[in-house]
Each structure stands twice: as structure tokens, then as C-alpha cells.
A and B are shown apart, each in its own frame.
Chain A
Amino acid sequence: MGSTVKSLKGQQHELSDSSFQLNVLQAPTQHGEQFPAFARRLQEHDLYPLKPTGTTILQVNMGKMCNQTCKHCHVDAGPDRKEIMTRDTMQLCLDALQQSPDITTVDLTGGAPEMNPDFRWFVEELSKLGRQVMVRCNLTIILANKKYHDLPEFFRKHGVHVVSSLPYFQASRTDAQRGDGVFEKSIKALQMLNEVGYGHEGSELLLDLVYNPSGAFLPSAQASLEAEFKRRLRSGYSVEFHNLFCITNLPVSRFLDYLVQSGNYDSYMEKLVNAFNPVAAAGVMCRNTISVGWDGHLYDCDFNQMLELKVEQGSSHHIRDFDAAALDKRNIVLNQHCYGCTAGAGSSCGGETVK
């Protein structure tokens, strides 16, 4: 399962330092070329400063603890990470949501959010508030320990929208990215979710999959890949799901490390920059999402969170001071990694942004 692999932080790797990552992102290529500043590209299309369109999604990162150590993880999550959200901070999220009726969806992510001891309490409380709860479940957690085996039933009971990573419909590429044996366990977990009613056509129990390329290449058209995933998973494993979200890997944390180590960094960034699509730029998820860190700090997105780029000064900085109206007036914080969300058909936690 790759559980013996240490996080970058555990290795005291220089890329575990967010300021070092930002230096890499802003440095010229090996041939001395400088990629155009992302902000300047937005300026050329009258999108700068980038403003919110109104927050409808609160994405809560419940901690960096995870049972897996995926090679592309932008969170640098793993079993050796101990930073998790406390129940007090979760309560502050609930308080903020109570005052913000326009936020209709709460997107729980991590790490493996289910490993947080207050995860189930939080989902129950969110459910009482009547918000759509989405959990980014890595699938293998369901089989990792007996205490998690009933997660499919718990999700069903609360109508949780399950969104799960499965980078490929075969073991080779899935395990290369997520660890040995992950594919087999993921299929078993998907079958368990199907058994309680998730993923079937017409079912209200939504089960969506996330596709991240297993390497230094971009995702292709979502509809075509979704059809292939459905065909292969149905014929090979009798697995059903609703939608496939294609997400571009952003050059952050462990994926950035992979790009640098494999010598693919310059060419990957060049691909992202050349694929800049102003239509995708107009639809980026940071315009309707606020990301909450495990310690309650607020960010424009989960990637900014990992780069420790907090929401602009002047907006509310912490969930305890959450002010939706003030946040809607902020300028979104940008950097070179943002090219990942504007390449081609765009990329967000909900997949393509250009329909």
C-alpha cells in the first residue's frame, strides 16, 4: 500500500517548504526562458484581478493524515502526517455555514477525511444543516481497518456524495501512482459502495470517480474517458459509477517533486502554459469555493492552501471570522501553478470546467 513511504515533510525534503515550491514555480526553465506570469495572462483577457462569483462551496480539508502516500499528492498527505482538524474548528465551520445559506455544498477532503476521529460527527451535523455533503474518499480507507468497513452504509444513511480517485481502469497505472495493491482494494471498495446502492443509473446515491493522469501528461476529453472507464469497469469488475471527473495534476508538492525528479518539469509547465484557455480561466473553481485548512485558515483553493497562500489581506482569514460578503469582494491569490486549472478544457475538483 506504500504505507512505508514517507511524506516530503517526513523526509525533511526541501519541497516540503511552500516557499521553496514557489521559487521553483517562478524560476526560469533550464534553457533560461521565463514562462509568462499567470496574472498577466488573465490581464490579457480582462480577468485580472480575478474576483469571486459568489461562494457556494465550502471545501474543508480535515487533515493531512492518510493511509496512502500517493506519488502525485499535492497535500503531501500520508500515515506520518498528524495535522488534523479539531472538533472545535469543525464547530466553527458549522457556525459559518449557519450564517451562509448560499453555501449549498460542503466538500470534505484530506488526507483521508474518514481518519479524523470527528469525521462522522461532522457529517451528521452537516447533514442536519441540510447541506449537500461531498466526501473525497480514497476508497482503500474502507478496507484499511474493520472500523471503516461500514463507511458505505454511513455514507448512504446521510446521502453523502462520494467522489473517489481512480486514476486508471487497470492495476498498473493505478498502483504506480497510488501504491501497490491500491487498484484491487479500490475495486473491492467500489463494489461495496455499489452494493448499498451507490453509482447505479438513476440512483440518488452519487458515486463519481476522479481521473488524474499517472504521469507528466494532461487529461483528455472527459466524456470520452468516462465512456471508456464505464465500459472497462463494468465488463471487468461489474462496477458502476455516475461521472468521471478529469483533473489535471498541478505542479505542487509531491507531483512537483515527481516532475523535477523525472526531468519533466519544464516540458509539463510548457504544456500547461501553451494550453491556457481563457474560457476555462473564467470558470475556475476558486471563484465559487472557499477552502478551509485543518487549522481553520481560509484559502482560495486546496492548492493555495498547500502553498500556504492565504486569502488576500483584508478578507476574513480564519473560519472563526468567516464573512461571506467580505470574502466575495476579495481578489483571488494567483501564482504559476494556476496554469493547471486553465489548461485545455479546464480543471477543478469537479473535473472539466468548459462544457
Chain B
Amino acid sequence: MNKTYYNPADLSKFGNISELQPEMGRKFFDYYGEVFKEGALTEREKALIALAVSHAVQCPYCIDAYSTDCLEKGADENQMMEAVHVAAAIKGGAALVHGVQMMNKIKELSM
């Protein structure tokens, strides 16, 4: 049994999730592959978005995979860190914007 919940070696076993539900697994990976193909956005732009989302959802597997993917696709370090700041700004903003709700409640309860 692992002593931690996350094992880096599990990343390469992602495909194994299809073993218990092959049809849904196949559909998911087909969709996944389609999403990351070059389209209106380049593969590099999609990798940067994925990197930002990886940080927002705080998935260590995703951060490992998309840091590598961004390097492979030619993204530079500044672009990668800016993407992380975009995630941080949205996460921080999402917390802060609820401050309005707090202010509404204060107003409601206060004389």
C-alpha cells in the first residue's frame, strides 16, 4: 500500500481507468484527444489553458503532465507562469467576489 495518496507512476496508468468501464473510458479518451487537437486554438495555447486549469483544480498529475506538454510544445517559462497567475487570479477573485455577498449580509443584519 502506498504511504501517500498520490504516486507519480500512476500518471502513466491513466488509461487503465477503462478497465472497469471500457465504453465510457473509450468515449472519454476519444473526446480528450479531440479536445487537444489543433483547432481555433493552437495545441500550445490549449496546453497553457490546461496548465492553468491544472493549478486551479490542484491536480498534481495534471501539473506534471501539462508542465511537460507546455515545454514540448514550445511555450516559454513566462507564458507558463502567466497562465498560473490567470488561474490564481480567478481562484482569488472567486473568493473575493463573495465579499459582496458578505457585505449584503452585513447590511441586512445591521442597524
A contact residues vs B (CB 8 Å cutoff): 168, 170, 172-173, 213, 215, 217-221, 224-225, 228-229, 270, 274
Contact = CB atoms under 8 A, between A and B. Distances in A.
B44 A213 contact: no
Nearest to A228: B74
A217 B74 contact: no
Nearest to B8: A267
Contact of B72 (A170, A220, A228): A220
Contacts of B23: none
Nearest to A274: B12
B66 to A, nearest CB: 12
Nearest to B73: A220
B41 to A, nearest CB: 12
A244 to B, nearest CB: 10
A218 B44 CA distance: 14
B43 A218 contact: no
16 contacts: A168-B76, A170-B76, A172-B76, A213-B71, A213-B72, A215-B71, A217-B72, A218-B72, A220-B44, A220-B72, A224-B44, A225-B74, A228-B44, A228-B74, A229-B74, A270-B12
A213 B38 CA distance: 21
Nearest to B76: A170
B16 interface: no
Nearest to B47: A220
A217 B71 contact: yes
B15 to A, nearest CB: 11
Interface of B: 12, 38, 42-44, 68, 71-74, 76-77
Contacts of B72: 213, 217-220
A224 B77 contact: no
A172 B71 contact: no
A232 B8 CA distance: 34
Contacts of A220: 43-44, 72-74
Which interface residue of B44, B73, B74 has the most chain A CB atoms within 10 A? B74
A96 B56 CA distance: 62
A218 B68 CA distance: 9
A229 B73 CA distance: 11
Contacts of B71: 213, 215, 217
A217 B47 CA distance: 15
Which interface residue of A172, A213, A220 has the most chain B CB atoms within 10 A? A220
A220 B76 CA distance: 14
Contacts of A228: 44, 74
A228 B48 CA distance: 15
Nearest to B67: A217
Contacts of B42: 224
Q: Which A-B residue pairs are the 3 nearest by beta carbons?
A: A220-B72, A220-B73, A225-B74
A170 B80 CA distance: 14
A30 to B, nearest CB: 12
Contacts of A168: 76
A172 B72 CA distance: 16
A221 B68 contact: no
A300 to B, nearest CB: 28
Given A215-B71, A217-B71, A224 B38 contact: yes
B20 to A, nearest CB: 23
B68 A224 contact: no
Given A168-B76, A172-B77, A228-B44, 11 more contacts: A173-B76, A213-B71, A217-B71, A220-B44, A220-B74, A221-B73, A224-B38, A224-B44, A224-B73, A225-B74, A270-B12
A219 B72 CA distance: 5
B105 to A, nearest CB: 49
Given A213-B71, A215-B71, A224 B43 contact: yes
B43 A221 contact: yes
